[in-house]
Amino acid sequence: MSLVNEAKRSDKRMKSEYAVIVCPKCRKHVQIIDSGVKSTTCQRCGSRLDVRRLKVWCKTPDLNEAVSLRTAILMELDQ
Ligand SMILES: [Zn+2]
């Protein structure tokens, strides 16, 4: 019984979502971040980004989905 509870609890802790964001400074860098973080740094221009103020393009618990969405957004920005 307690084992099940333990597993459930750690499962909840492990569960995180990925958020896809676009750097508002350079507008070219699409980044996948853990949706739980408050701030991140743009890997392209080095800007400090306040995640709560950013537009989150999508949130998904599936990393593969996040990666393909990132690619799709990148292609859209390129046009
Ligand atoms: Zn940037």
Residue at 24 is within a domain? yes
Residue at 10 is within a domain? no
Residue at 5 is within a domain? no
Q: Coil, helix or strand for 37?
A: coil
62 alpha carbon to ligand 1 midpoint, in Å?
Answer: 24
25 alpha carbon to ligand 1 midpoint, in Å?
Answer: 5
Q: Strand pairing partners for 39?
A: 50
Cβ burial of 18 (10 Å; 0-12, 13-18, 19+) is: buried
Q: Which is more confident, 27 or 3? A: 27
Residue at 9 is within a domain? no
36 alpha carbon to ligand 1 midpoint, in Å?
Answer: 20
- Tens digits of residue pLDDT in 27-56: 889 999 999 999 999 999 999 999 999 999
75 alpha carbon to ligand 1 midpoint, in Å?
Answer: 16
Query: How many domains is the chain partitioned into structurally?
Result: 1
- Mean pLDDT of the region 15-32: 92
Residue at 11 is within a domain? no
Domain of 50 in residue numbering reads as 16-78
CATH of the domain at 28: 3.90.820
Asked if residue 19 lies in contact with residue 32, where contact means CB atoms within 8 angstroms, the answer is yes
Q: What is the spatial distance between Cα 68 and Cα 38, in angstroms, rounded to a whole number?
A: 23
Average pLDDT of the residues of the chain: 87
Confidence band (pLDDT; 50, 70, 90) for 77?
confident
Residue at 50 is within a domain? yes
Residue at 64 is within a domain? yes
Residue at 6 is within a domain? no
30 alpha carbon to ligand 1 midpoint, in Å?
Answer: 8
pLDDT at 10 over 70: no
Say what the pLDDT of residue 12 is: 56
